[in-house]
């Protein structure tokens, strides 16, 4: 009850910011003119506001997008507001392992540094679908594509940090809904990656968001072991109505958002935690943590489980390597 009251009032936490803080407010004193950032899902919603604010602070931006036309339009909107901004639009379908590998190869050919990776893109669909690699589409888009993208870009991020002395940062955008998932992650993924299954869209989404949290935990541990000057944290942006809900429009969705209207953030408020974790100097050397309302908090019990994080990482490595459309088997 106390936490709900703080949220509604927008009371500031230890960071000096709270639920009502905006992305512009949390980056007010940031100079990002030396920063190059890759932001997935930057064409609309939270990702678009995150990109706009980072551009305002001077960052060079890379927009990987499945819909290149939408990305070019997003670029035009930002450049019209901040003419000096450098933005590179590139093609990427996160649900496709081949597309992720192609994007990274194309990015590396640009010979640009990479200081910041924001894994923001997300999908919430009520219809069951399987990716070209044989993986349930929500999991493939929200987690597995980002897992591979991050792994393939790590060398560049570590190199950039070594050459510039500026600590690299990875931000995984998750959701408080990750705590709704219970059970065996790998077994449930196996079940929903079959062509015919009993599909619960909310549970599938919760699984993908839990995977983002576990990815953060395991990756942080691995980066610390190799003493890389790169951190990784995850954020819950809060409840906000964006294009993420486009496949779930209807009377029920409208009713839920009406009843929860006092809890729903504006897009600038929802982008604040991502921008805070991506830029704030207080977070140097802070890694493996979970943030909401611009303050560190605790994920679910399952999201805090190191053995589950390690198990998911091992399964993910197999999934991105097997390229099998015919069958799903993370244990083969």
pLDDT tens per residue, range 228-246: 999 999 999 998 865 544 4
3-class state of residue 39 by DSSP: strand
Alpha helices in 166-228 (DSSP H): 185-192, 201-225
Residue 173 clears pLDDT 90, i.e. is over it = yes
User: Annotated catalytic residue: which of 7, 143, 188, 205?
Assistant: 205
Task: Kindly state the helix (H) or strand (E) to which residue 145 belongs, with its residue range.
Answer: helix 145-164
- Residues 50 and 56: their CA atoms lie apart, in Å, by 10
Residue of 116, 120, 112 lying closest to 231 (CA atoms): 116
C-alpha to C-alpha distance for 133 and 96, rounded to whole angstroms: 7
205 given a catalytic annotation: yes
Beta-ladder partners of 295? 292
| CB 297 within 8 Å of CB 290 | yes
Q: Which helix (H) or strand (E) holds 232?
A: strand 230-236
Instruction: Please give the C-alpha separations between residue 331 and each of 144, 190, 319, in angstroms, as whole numbers.
Output: 16, 10, 9
**Percentage of residues in the chain with pLDDT exceeding 70?**
87
Hey, is 63 helix, strand or coil?
Answer: strand
The whole-chain average pLDDT of the chain stands at 91
Give CA–CA dist 202/177, Å, rounded: 9
How far is residue 331 CA from its own chain's centroid?
Answer: 26
Cα–Cα distance, 225 to 222 (Å, whole number): 5
- Does pLDDT of 154 surpass 70? yes
| Beta carbons within 10 angstroms of residue 242's beta carbon | 18
Q: Is the pTM of this model over 0.75?
A: yes
Q: Tell me the C-alpha distance between 86 and 82, whole Å.
A: 9
Q: Residue 323 pLDDT more than 60? A: no
Residue 90 forms beta bridges with which residues?
Answer: 64
Quote the DSSP letter at residue 40. Answer: T
Share of the chain above pLDDT 90, in %: 83
Residue owning tokens 């109505």: 241
- Whole-angstrom Cα distance, residue 187 to residue 69? 38
Output the pLDDT for position 264: 86
Contact predicate 53/23, CB 8 Å? yes
């Amino acid at each position: 009850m106390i936490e709900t009251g703080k949220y509604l009032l927008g009371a500031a936490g230890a960071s000096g910011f709270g639920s009502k803080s905006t992305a512009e407010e949390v980056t007010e004193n940031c100079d990002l003119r030396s920063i190059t950032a890759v932001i997935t899902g930057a064409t609309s919603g939270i990702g678009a506001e995150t990109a706009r604010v980072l551009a305002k602070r001077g960052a060079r931006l890379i927009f990987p997008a499945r819909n290149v036309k939408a990305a070019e339009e997003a670029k035009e909107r930002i450049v019209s507001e901040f003419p000096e901004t450098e933005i590179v639009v590139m093609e990427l379908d996160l649900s496709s392992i081949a597309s992720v590998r192609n994007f990274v190869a194309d990015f590396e050919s640009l010979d640009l540094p990479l200081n910041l990776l924001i894994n923001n893109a997300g999908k919430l669909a009520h219809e069951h679908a399987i990716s070209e690699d044989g993986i349930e589409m929500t999991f493939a888009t929200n987690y597995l594509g980002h897992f591979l993208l991050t792994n393939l870009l790590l060398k560049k991020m570590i190199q950039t940090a070594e050459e510039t002395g500026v600590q690299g940062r990875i931000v995984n955008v998750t959701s408080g809904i990750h705590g709704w998932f219970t059970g065996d992650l790998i077994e449930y993924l196996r079940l929903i990656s079959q062509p015919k299954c009993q599909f619960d869209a909310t549970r599938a989404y919760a699984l993908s968001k839990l995977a983002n949290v576990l990815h953060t935990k395991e990756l942080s541990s691995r980066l610390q072991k190799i003493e890389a000057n790169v951190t990784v944290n995850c954020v819950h942006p809060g409840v906000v109505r964006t294009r993420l809900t486009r496949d779930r429009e209807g009377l029920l969705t409208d009713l839920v958002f009406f009843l929860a209207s006092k809890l729903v953030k504006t897009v600038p408020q929802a982008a604040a935690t991502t921008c805070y974790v991506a830029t704030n100097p207080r977070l140097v050397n802070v890694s493996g943590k979970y943030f909401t309302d611009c303050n560190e908090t605790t994920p679910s019990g399952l999201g805090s489980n190191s053995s589950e994080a390690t198990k998911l990482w091992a399964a993910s490595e197999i999934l991105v390597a097997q390229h099998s459309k015919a069958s799903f088997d993370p244990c083969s």
